[in-house]
Chain A
């Protein structure tokens, strides 16, 4: 078959889906994607289609997640779970280098990325936008070698959402549910009945080349139309919404708003929201010496602005109160992130709402602040 051009659309029949997995494996990729584990859909290695959450879905509300059976055999009939792709690009714990004593000096061995290239299977539109955010953090002005090495070799296979979760609000953030750019392949699953198939969009030459040998047929207008209808339905059923108009100034001019006190009484400073957020990037490093004192490893691990120790300076702490920590998180995510990275830090995936043990909902917090502020700041746009 001729190489597909970028932008072309094809049909992959449901029964041929294993051929796509086989093509990825044959091309040398380690395929990672959604899989059921411990009562949730998490990300893990996908060896056969049986590893995918076939016929499963998730029901999400603030502080609650439940895995449930669907009444069909959809492969991607759910939204996002507690894991995000950042665990692959920016691992929770990572050794950066090892120093070994040599006489009166020492040698430093920097960790190299030696794993096979990864294929992310099943990225949602919001998650693609999330990668764009973490790229600005780790692969922009400052380049993190580990992130860069892994990211550059990763193949991105997106899936357009056929439904929205109870805590999703990508429409508000302009990040979904449609996939518009930054992918190698984009799938839309049409479950039927009677016809169960995938509409495959080609987003890059690499995406086109992995499709070589995968049986595809031309897409008719009816099939592309079905995908569009589905997407419109998803967009219309968002579980949450967030008014982002003037949000930068709204938050930054209300740093003493009484609402912070109210949310701080509920907040546990437990860090769950930041751990599950696909764009939260805070980390700390730790030296792990051998008892002999002859060898030391430097490890990096996920840290959080909700941790007291995160802002421990030599003699004092700048964010002692949980109030100041919650405020730091929300104003960074939704406001000062624009100043730092020229984008919102929030992509509307809803994870922080679902996985907060006490169900704190950032969309509710912002709405509460907005409702007491007479007129929203003049002009349009997020500022």
Chain B
């Protein structure tokens, strides 16, 4: 059946670098069909024209780091029929969630000349921690292909085909030689969700975990292997503390190496 009407899309930004929103602009050849199928009613990166809500589909980028944003996301939710979060910031708190492991009050005092101007929360949290989310699209940045799939699925009123399997399966489908097994390079692919197309192993680098934990990650088994391959405990802690540091499975992984007593 041909589709009816032209749903209205809004794109929202919270604490983030804009990279995921730009993925939408980066859809090049597909951008015109997107614009034909949906009305881009609110997208500051693309146009200053703003159409008032409510919206049929909201794409939300960024994490919640201030009390004001915590309030604004509830407004966005109230105006959106479907709300999809995009990127590691929105789905896991992003790199800025490293603050969750530290004393933010101390940063404020030490870093800023006028700490009283800084209004910030002690944590950076995922949108899901504040309002109900209909779908989470992972990645730092997200994949263009998956973003188009999410929009197409929305138009067709079906569940997006976005897999929660490991990066390893993409790596193998692509025909990459495993850098962990063949080069002895530590790689997070076995515990990371697919979606990037296993880009890093294709360029002889271990996976950095940009898409966050896969559906059943077993970091407890992978960590001793990473150590065997020469990563020290600090290295393991750091590799799990990047864009998805606060994703529960990665957080547990980095905490687990921290808690181990240091060998004499």
Residues of A within 8 A of B (CB): 37-40, 42, 63-67, 82-83, 87, 92-93, 265-272, 275-276, 286-293, 301-304, 307-309, 322, 354-358
User: Could you list 21 examples of A-B contacts with CB < 8 Å?
Assistant: A39-B177, A65-B182, A82-B172, A82-B177, A92-B173, A93-B173, A268-B191, A270-B168, A272-B190, A287-B161, A288-B161, A290-B33, A291-B30, A292-B37, A293-B37, A301-B173, A308-B165, A309-B163, A322-B218, A357-B180, A357-B190
CA distance A287 to B3 in the complex (A): 17
Whether A358 and B225, one on each chain, are in contact in the complex, defined by CB atoms closer than 8 angstroms, is: yes
Question: Residues of B within 8 Å of A, CB-based: how many?
Answer: 45
CA distance A265 to B221 in the complex (A): 7
A93 contacts which chain B residues (CB < 8 A)? 173
Whether B221 and A92, one on each chain, are in contact in the complex, defined by CB atoms closer than 8 angstroms, is: no
Whether B175 and A87, one on each chain, are in contact in the complex, defined by CB atoms closer than 8 angstroms, is: yes
A82 contacts which chain B residues (CB < 8 A)? 172, 177-178, 181-182
Given contact pairs A39-B183, A268-B191, A357-B190, A308 touches B172 in the complex (Cβ within 8 A)? no
Residues of B within 8 A of A (CB): 2-3, 30, 33-34, 36-37, 148, 151-152, 155-156, 161, 163-166, 168-169, 172-178, 180-184, 187, 189-191, 204, 214-218, 220-222, 225
A302 contacts which chain B residues (CB < 8 A)? 169, 172-173
Whether A308 and B164, one on each chain, are in contact in the complex, defined by CB atoms closer than 8 angstroms, is: yes
User: Which has the most chain B C-beta neighbours within 10 Å: A83, A303, A307?
Assistant: A307
B176 contacts which chain A residues (CB < 8 A)? 38
In the A-B complex, the 3 residue pairs with the closest CB atoms: A275-B172, A92-B173, A270-B190
Whether B166 and A291, one on each chain, are in contact in the complex, defined by CB atoms closer than 8 angstroms, is: no
Whether B222 and A307, one on each chain, are in contact in the complex, defined by CB atoms closer than 8 angstroms, is: no
**Out of A271, A292, A308, which one reaches B168, CB within 8 Å?**
A271
Whether B177 and A40, one on each chain, are in contact in the complex, defined by CB atoms closer than 8 angstroms, is: yes
B189 contacts which chain A residues (CB < 8 A)? 270
A303 contacts which chain B residues (CB < 8 A)? 169
Whether A293 and B177, one on each chain, are in contact in the complex, defined by CB atoms closer than 8 angstroms, is: no
Given contact pairs A270-B189, A309-B215, A291 touches B37 in the complex (Cβ within 8 A)? yes
B185 to chain A, nearest CB (A): 10
Residue of B nearest to A271 (CB): B169
Whether A63 and B181, one on each chain, are in contact in the complex, defined by CB atoms closer than 8 angstroms, is: yes
**Out of A37, A269, A276, which one reaches B166, CB within 8 Å?**
A269
CA distance A276 to B184 in the complex (A): 18
CA distance A343 to B158 in the complex (A): 40
A288 to chain B, nearest CB (A): 8
Whether A354 and B37, one on each chain, are in contact in the complex, defined by CB atoms closer than 8 angstroms, is: no
A309 contacts which chain B residues (CB < 8 A)? 163-165, 215
**Out of A39, A67, A266, A290, which one reaches B221, CB within 8 Å?**
A266
Whether B2 and A293, one on each chain, are in contact in the complex, defined by CB atoms closer than 8 angstroms, is: yes
Whether A271 and B33, one on each chain, are in contact in the complex, defined by CB atoms closer than 8 angstroms, is: no
**Out of B173, B177, B184, B216, which one reaches A38, CB within 8 Å?**
B177
B155 contacts which chain A residues (CB < 8 A)? 291, 293
CA distance A255 to B14 in the complex (A): 50
Residue of B nearest to A101 (CB): B2
CA distance A40 to B181 in the complex (A): 10
**Out of B165, B175, B222, which one reaches A357, CB within 8 Å?**
B222
CA distance A83 to B176 in the complex (A): 9
Residue of B nearest to A304 (CB): B169
B184 contacts which chain A residues (CB < 8 A)? 64
CA distance A272 to B168 in the complex (A): 6
A256 to chain B, nearest CB (A): 21
Residue of B nearest to A62 (CB): B181
B181 contacts which chain A residues (CB < 8 A)? 63-65, 82, 354-357
**Out of B156, B214, B220, which one reaches A289, CB within 8 Å?**
B156
B121 to chain A, nearest CB (A): 33
B89 to chain A, nearest CB (A): 25
B197 to chain A, nearest CB (A): 11
B163 contacts which chain A residues (CB < 8 A)? 307, 309
Whether A272 and B178, one on each chain, are in contact in the complex, defined by CB atoms closer than 8 angstroms, is: yes
Whether B168 and A37, one on each chain, are in contact in the complex, defined by CB atoms closer than 8 angstroms, is: no
Given contact pairs A304-B169, A309-B215, A293 touches B156 in the complex (Cβ within 8 A)? yes
CA distance A290 to B168 in the complex (A): 27
CA distance A357 to B191 in the complex (A): 11
B166 to chain A, nearest CB (A): 5
CA distance A82 to B201 in the complex (A): 14
CA distance A364 to B225 in the complex (A): 19
Known contacts A289-B152, A356-B181; can you find 17 more A-B pairs with CB under 8 A? A38-B182, A39-B183, A63-B225, A82-B181, A268-B191, A269-B218, A270-B168, A275-B168, A275-B172, A291-B30, A291-B151, A293-B155, A293-B156, A304-B165, A309-B163, A309-B164, A357-B178
CA distance A158 to B146 in the complex (A): 42
Whether B161 and A286, one on each chain, are in contact in the complex, defined by CB atoms closer than 8 angstroms, is: yes
**Out of B36, B156, B174, B178, which one reaches A355, CB within 8 Å?**
B178
A304 contacts which chain B residues (CB < 8 A)? 165, 169
CA distance A87 to B161 in the complex (A): 23
A352 to chain B, nearest CB (A): 11
Given contact pairs A38-B177, A42-B175, A293-B3, A268 touches B182 in the complex (Cβ within 8 A)? no
B178 contacts which chain A residues (CB < 8 A)? 65, 82, 272, 355, 357
Residue of B nearest to A321 (CB): B216
B30 contacts which chain A residues (CB < 8 A)? 291
CA distance A322 to B214 in the complex (A): 13
Residue of A nearest to B1 (CB): A293
